[in-house]
Amino acid sequence: MTSSIETVQCLIIGSGPAGYTAAIYASRANLNPVLYTGMEMGGQLTQTTDVENFPGYPDGIQGPEMMEHFRAQAERMGADIRFGLATQVDFSSDLHKVWIDGEKEIHAHSVIIATGASAKWLGIPSEKRLNGHGVSACAVCDGFFYRGKSVAIVGAGDTACEEALYLANLCPEVHMLIRRNEMRASKVMQDKVLNTTNIKIYWNTETEEVLGGDNVEGVKIKNTQTGESSVIPIHGFFVAIGHTPNSKIFKPFVNMDEQGYIITQAGSAKTNINGVFACGDVQDSIYRQAVTAAGSGCMAALDAERYLRVILH
């Protein structure tokens, strides 16, 4: 299985804001970090167009361009950034083993997991085609662009309710599309949504198609009880049906919650495995923002530096 073995002080898995920030801090601490990008170099932000809520960019910036800045800064600090996917790990001993692309074996004194989370989508072609052009999986990230415009949101859990309420502060109409005749959200969140006058709820409703040429212009919906289809004119379409943390390969060793988010010790990036740290969306089911991911990447690198200082000196 193994074609080559390499031993490193600090291995970073993932290349979003968390991974690149960890690489910047780890490089400055002389940890000589090696970062493997994963298949989506730059993470979820490479699927985003305008980013206006990250500090330091007063005029906003395109998501892919911002991640290029992150990568360039990490490389300038000395991080060894490589394209490759972690496919297997063995954290059963103090020297952690990680296999890249099923072939190369890395032995690492410390590992920083920054593999992120992937948004769940409805799976309709128009949703994919218009992603970044009116279709979004993050109301907090992109709701600002639809101030004064009508939007729709799909979902029935607490996150969907939170995002619907966030959008209701910006938009005159929020059309909330719910597949069943009830919500999964907590009672308090349901009550808040139901008592917000500019949120209109559509029960027993499925999305058939997101409409528009270059940008979203409407959504075609179907009532599953009556079979009737109708069109709602909108400018923004938000999908809030959950995220899947990219944590599967770590499950035999690292503690996770029932959704698969890695559990870190309060106030740190430490996992239950000595020398293994987690940062970014793979351990954050609450905030899921680029700036919080970057902050936790800093934490992970500082925690790794303190750990290595003890075991290597």
Comparing CA positions, the residue from 129, 141, 188, 191 lying closest to residue 167 is: 141
Q: Is the backbone of residue 214 left (phi > 0), alpha (psi -120 to 50) or beta? A: alpha
Question: Assign residue 60 a region: left if phi > 0, alpha if psi is -120 to 50, beta otherwise?
Answer: left
Catalytic residue flag (residue 141):
yes
Q: What's the maximum distance between 2 C-alpha atoms anywhere in the chain? A: 71
Tokens of residue 198, six digits: 């500019």
Choose the catalytic residue: 80, 101, 142, 161. Answer: 142
Q: What DSSP state is assigned to residue 47?
A: G
Is 3:281 a contact under the CB 8 Å cutoff?
Answer: no
Structure token digits, residue 62 = 């395109």
Residue 109 tokens read as 């004194």
> Which candidate in 10, 94, 138, 257 is catalytic?
138
**Catalytic residue chosen out of the listed positions 141, 161, 171, 279:** 141
- Establish whether 142 is a catalytic residue: yes
Cα 126 to Cα 17, 46, 153, 211, distances in angstroms: 28, 19, 15, 7
Residue 105: both structure tokens together:
């074996």
Task: Return the structure tokens found at 10.
Answer: 């600090």
Q: Is 298 tagged catalytic?
A: no
Transcribe 60-124 into DSSP letters.
Answer: -EEHHHHHHHHHHHHHHTT-EEE---EEEEE-SSSSEEEEETTTEEEEEEEEEE---EEE-----
**Six-digit token string for 120:** 């769940």
Nearest to 185 by CA among 152, 156, 155, 164: 156
Q: Which residues are catalytic?
A: 138, 141-142
